[in-house]
Amino acid sequence: MLTSACYVVLFILCFVYSYFPTMKMITKISEEVDDMYNAHCHAGSLSRPAIIDSLRKTLQSKSVFEAEQPVCVADFGTADGRASLSLMKEIIEIIKQDCGQEQTIVVCFNDQPTNDFCRLSQVIQGFEQGLRLPAYSNIYPVMIPRTMYEQCLPDNSVDLAISSVATHYLSKRICYIKQGASIAYADENEERLMKEQGKADWRAFVISRGKELKPGGFLITMNISADTKNEKPFSELYGIKHLASFVTDMARDGIITQEEYLATNLCTQEIRTDADFMEPFTSCLTEIQDLGLELVSIKPFKHFLQHQTFDIVQKDDKVKLEYSRQIVAFAYPWMYHVIYEGLSDNRTEEDKQTITDQYFSRIQKYAFDHSDFRPFLNLTEVIIKKTHRN
Ligand SMILES: C[S@@+](CC[C@H](N)C(=O)[O-])C[C@H]1O[C@@H](n2cnc3c(N)ncnc32)[C@H](O)[C@@H]1O
């Protein structure tokens, strides 16, 4: 059982933990171009029915003894917490309804140590936007700055773990992509290395969550994944593949150097297939069996990004402009740091900002000129259940 003291110790340990992957997100509330909600239009909420169903199942499976323990829910790769906040509120209300108002609840928000935890703190306390975690005295928010590819909470302590649009980030850079800036442009060897890293990371993610889950607990993830039907996906046109191509253009035009070009490579594996998600189970890993992990379901989603301009067929210039601004809004949160921090330290801050702005201007111009495309994401929901104690 987790006591409050355990959480305090854990929190301190997390701060001194020394793992710092490079990718981070930028979000600023109320600035449309920078709005995390815009990034993928609540892709995580597609999992809402599965999350609520799993929560009810895990609550029903509790014994009388367990009823005295805190119910613990955790969001991995939460960014500023806004994407999961309304869902977390709903989860808390359901726990209170089913287990009683006196039920203690621990709500954990994880991201890598470079995430803006100050902002996360402000978001969950409702400082800036009204929506906040319910203010019951027996609800304990916990922030966990640690890579999700390692165990982040104690054994058998979590009832419900969720994660949305985060597992495509690799835990480390395994190679540079010479002919482009994302896995879509990788040569055979580079793609093999990145897929191997992606395989190791997914295994590590599933095993870490498996250790943390209580028996009867569930892990529900919504992951960016491959285009299995061979349709032209978001990542081809306005997403990672295309976004990366603007960096290539800037290198070709002499705006950034070859070193900067390589430094802006994306460390992501966004082309996992169902077989990749099933791999820890189909490979019969002993850890998976020892932890009593069961693959409940794998479900693909084609998720159309939402904005009124995407539905307008005949666009005039005003609508095209708005459309192109929205496309930039989707790209900005995850591409800003990739570009800015890939630029040489020899450059002035002003120079870096100008080049980064130019990158987003190029995206906007392209989107304006190709505004007939309705962007979508290929996603895969994976649900895993833990059957027994480790
Ligand atoms: C696209 S955002 C998704 C944020 C949020 N879950 C949502 O649905 O909007 C991906 C998040 O994963 C985080 N992330 C990437 N690698 C991570 C790691 N190794 N451990 C924890 N979080 C990580 C990033 O920092 C980022 O906040």
Ligand 1, atom 27, residue with closest C-alpha: 79
222/287 same-domain check: yes
Give pLDDT tens digits for 279-324.
999 999 999 999 999 999 999 988 888 788 888 888 999 999 999 9
Give pLDDT tens digits for 84-93.
888 999 999 9
Domain that includes residue 210, residue range: 29-176+190-227+268-305+377-386
Please identify, by atom number, the ligand 1 atom nearest to the C-alpha of residue 21.
Answer: 19
Q: How many angstroms separate the CA atoms of 91 and 109, rounded?
A: 14
Q: How many angstroms separate the CA atoms of 20 and 29, rounded?
A: 25
275/360 same-domain check: no
166/239 same-domain check: no
Please indicate whether residue 4 or residue 15 has the higher confidence score (pLDDT): 4
| Contact assessment for residue 167 and residue 270, using Cβ atoms and an 8 Å cutoff | no
Question: What is the distance in A from the centroid of ligand 1 to the CA of 165?
Answer: 7
Lowest mean pLDDT among 3-7, 143-147, 274-278: 3-7
274/256 same-domain check: no
For a mutational test of ligand 1's pocket, the pick from 17, 23, 27, 212, i.e. the residue with the most ligand atoms closer than 8 A to its C-beta, is: 23
Distances (CA, A) of 3 to 120, 121, 308: 23, 21, 48
203/321 same-domain check: no
167/34 same-domain check: yes
pTM above 0.85, yes or no: yes
Share of the chain above pLDDT 70, in %: 84
Ligand 1, atom 15, residue with closest C-alpha: 169
363/382 same-domain check: no
